[in-house]
């Protein structure tokens, strides 16, 4: 097993390398020079040339890439031209907000998804199962951003249950009231993200449980007189729960992609919203940092899931 895991870990090195090249090339291809936002009409051409030169923008691309990489390893992602601050600091502030939201949504996804999926599988073709299937079909079919907009409209505006923008109320100060205010702000986007995310879990668990119910080993246990409840507890759950938890890592990719929509709709100041505004301002040090970060996080998430899967499922370990 350790070999499988170690080999899997090693694969990520070329993957990250290719990703970094792609991201770097994208950054280079962005139009305009990065000083457009910080100069004014009176800035002399010579001064711009000077700026370009000291920032290494006249070097060949591979040298620029190398410099960029070296800086990266020192934790230096450059300066944001829009905010005139180190990118690490800006991204860091926003990352915490996104993290809050992501953790909340993930916890919620599993808290709702697991019991619902198990219920649907155990009570196949019951009225509850039909309702759950209806729900997964509807949620799966409708684009995520439309769900967000409708949710915001209904629960944020029409019913007025939740705040509609931002990550914290104005003038709440610090300490306990601030935490409560933050929580209030992530409830609605978190729930919506979870409602969307749990579809996969419910569908997977449901079919797992149904398959297990019809499998020979469950039938044998039943025929020996083991109560249904115990069969599910000892056989079915154990077999389907671990793999489903392992998918948490895979879901990071979707969660991050979704954050762009969620944060735009709820004007929630996380990395997704930062990305959208950075694009609008052509703030490409920030853009580069975010794309790279999202990519690396996705890769790490997938790595994590692969490792858990390998640990859980003996079939993957076999060489």
Partner 1 sequence: MSLIEVHDLEVHYPIRSGFWNRVTDEVLAVDGVSLSIEAGETYGLVGESGSGKSTTGKSIVGLEKPTHGQVIYKGKDITKSANRQKLDYNQDVQMIFQDSLSSLNPRKRIEDIIAEPLRNFGKLSKDEEKLRVLQLLDIVGLDADALYKYPHQFSGGQRQRIGVARAVATNPKLIVADEPVSALDLSVQAQVLNFMKKIQRDFNVSYLFISHDLGVVRHMCDNIAIMHRGRIVEMGTRDDIYNHPMHIYTRRLLSAIPETSVAHREEARAKREAVEKEFQENQQRYYDKDGKVLPLLDVTSTHKVALPADEVAKLQREAD
Partner 2 sequence: MAQNDPLNKKSSISAEDLTRLSKEAEATATPSSRQIIWKEFKADKIALTSAIIVVGFILFVIIASFFIPAGSYKAVNIMDYFNKPFTPDFWLGADSSGRSVAKLLIVGSRNSIGIAIGLTLISGTFGIAYGLISGYFGGMTDMIMSRIYDFMLMLPTLMFIIVLVTIIQNYNAITLTLILSLFQWMGSSRLIRSRALAESRKDYVAASKTSGTSNFKIIFREIMPNISSLIIVEMTLAFAGNLGVETGLSFLGFGLPNGTPSLGTLIANATDPTNITQYWWTWLFAALEIIVLCLAVSYVGQALRRSADASQRLGDK
Say which entry of partner 2, partner 1, none residue 17 contacts (CB below 5 to 8 A, set by partner kind). none
Residues lying near partner 2 in the complex (CB under 8 A) are found at 15, 18-19, 22, 26, 29-31, 137-138, 140-146, 149-150, 152-153, 157-158, 164-165, 253, 256-257, 260-261, 264-265, 275-276, 279-280, 282, 287, 290-291, 294-295, 298-299, 302
Near partner 1 by CB under 8 A: residue from 1, 7, 125, 137: 7
User: Nearest CA to 200 among 304, 259, 114?
Assistant: 114
- Interaction partner, residue 257 (partner 2, partner 1, none; CB < 5-8 Å by kind): partner 2
Q: Which does 30 bind (CB under 5 to 8 A by kind): partner 2, partner 1, none?
A: partner 2
Which segments of the chain are extended strands (E)? 79-80, 85-86
Nearest approach in angstroms of CB 5 to partner 1 is: 11
Q: If binding is defined by CB under 8 A, does position 319 make contact with partner 1?
A: yes
**Rounded least distance, CB 315 to partner 1, Å:** 16
From residue 110, alpha-carbon distances to 104, 114, 140, 145 in Å are 10, 6, 17, 21
**Is 306 within 8 Å of 41 (Cβ atoms)?**
no
Token readout for 150 is: 């409708």
Segment interacting with partner 1, rule: CB under 8 A, options 2-10, 61-69, 202-210, 244-252: 2-10
What is the torsional sign of CA 223, 226, 227, 233? negative
Q: How far is the CB of 25 from partner 2 (least distance, A)?
A: 10
Q: 23-31 contacts: CB < 8 A, separation 24 or more? A: 23/288, 23/291, 23/292, 23/295, 24/61, 24/64, 24/65, 24/68, 24/288, 25/61, 26/288, 26/291, 27/284, 27/287, 27/288, 28/61, 28/64, 30/282, 30/284, 30/287, 31/282
Q: Considering beta carbons, is residue 236 or 278 the nearer one to partner 2?
A: 278
Partner in contact with 319, chosen from partner 1, partner 2, none, beta carbon below 5 to 8 Å by kind: partner 1
Q: From the list partner 2, partner 1, none, pick the one residue 179 interacts with, judged by a Cβ distance below 5 to 8 Å according to partner type.
A: none
d(CA 152, CA 265): 8
Nearer to partner 2, 163 or 190 (CB): 163
> Binding partner of residue 6 among partner 2, partner 1, none, CB under 5 to 8 Å per kind?
partner 1
- The tokens for 225 are 């007189």
For residue 118, give the 3-state DSSP assignment: helix
Structure tokens at 216: 């020979």
Closest separation between CB of residue 222 and partner 2, Å? 28
CB of 9 to partner 1, least distance (A): 12
Residue 149 interacting entry, from partner 1, partner 2, none, C-beta within 5 to 8 Å by type = partner 2
- With contacts defined by CB under 8 A, how many residues of the chain interact with partner 1? 4
Contact by Cβ (8 Å): 24, 68? yes
Q: Which residue lies nearer to partner 1 by CB, 13 or 45?
A: 13
Output 2 or 73, the one with its CB closest to partner 1. Answer: 2
Residue with tokens 């992530």: 186
Smallest distance from partner 2 to CB 237, Å: 27
Cβ partners under 8 Å of residue 205, min gap 6: 113, 114, 117, 118, 120, 121, 240, 244
Structure tokens at 7: 């080999």
CB of 7 to partner 1, least distance (A): 7
Check binding of 9 to partner 1 (CB under 8 A): no
Cα separation of 56 and 53, whole Å?
5
Q: Which residues sit at the interface with partner 1, rule CB under 8 A? A: 3, 6-7, 319
């Amino acid at each position: 097993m350790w070999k499988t895991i170690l080999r899997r870990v090693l694969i990520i090195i070329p993957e990250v390398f290719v990703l970094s090249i792609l991201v770097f090339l994208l950054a280079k291809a962005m139009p305009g020079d990065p000083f457009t936002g910080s100069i004014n009409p009176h800035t002399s051409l010579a001064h711009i040339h000077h700026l370009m030169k000291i920032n290494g923008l006249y070097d060949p691309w591979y040298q620029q890439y190398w410099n960029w990489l070296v800086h990266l390893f020192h934790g230096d992602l450059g300066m944001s031209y829009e905010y005139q601050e180190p990118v690490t600091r800006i991204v860091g502030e926003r990352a915490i907000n996104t993290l809050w939201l992501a953790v909340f949504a993930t916890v919620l996804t599993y808290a709702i998804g697991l019991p619902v999926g198990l219920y649907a599988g155990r009570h196949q073709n019951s009225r509850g199962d039909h309702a759950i299937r209806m729900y997964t079909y509807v949620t799966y079919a409708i684009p995520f951003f439309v769900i967000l907009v409708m949710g915001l409209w209904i629960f944020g505006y029409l019913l007025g249950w939740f705040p509609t923008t931002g990550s914290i109320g104005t003038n709440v100060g610090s300490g306990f009231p601030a935490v409560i205010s933050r929580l209030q702000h992530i409830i609605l986007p978190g729930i919506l993200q979870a409602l969307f995310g749990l579809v996969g879990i419910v569908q997977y668990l449901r079919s797992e449980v149904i398959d297990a119910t019809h499998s020979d080993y469950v039938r044998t246990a039943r025929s020996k007189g083991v109560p249904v409840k115990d069969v599910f507890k000892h056989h079915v759950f154990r077999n389907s729960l671990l793999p489903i938890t392992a998918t948490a890592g895979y879901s990071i990719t979707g969660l991050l992609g979704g954050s762009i929509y969620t944060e735009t709709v709820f004007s929630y100041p996380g990395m997704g919203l930062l990305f959208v505004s950075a694009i609008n301002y052509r703030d490409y040090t920030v853009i580069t940092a975010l794309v790279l970060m999202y990519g690396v996080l996705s890769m790490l998430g997938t790595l994590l899931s692969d490792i858990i899967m390998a640990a859980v499922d003996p079939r993957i370990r076999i060489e």
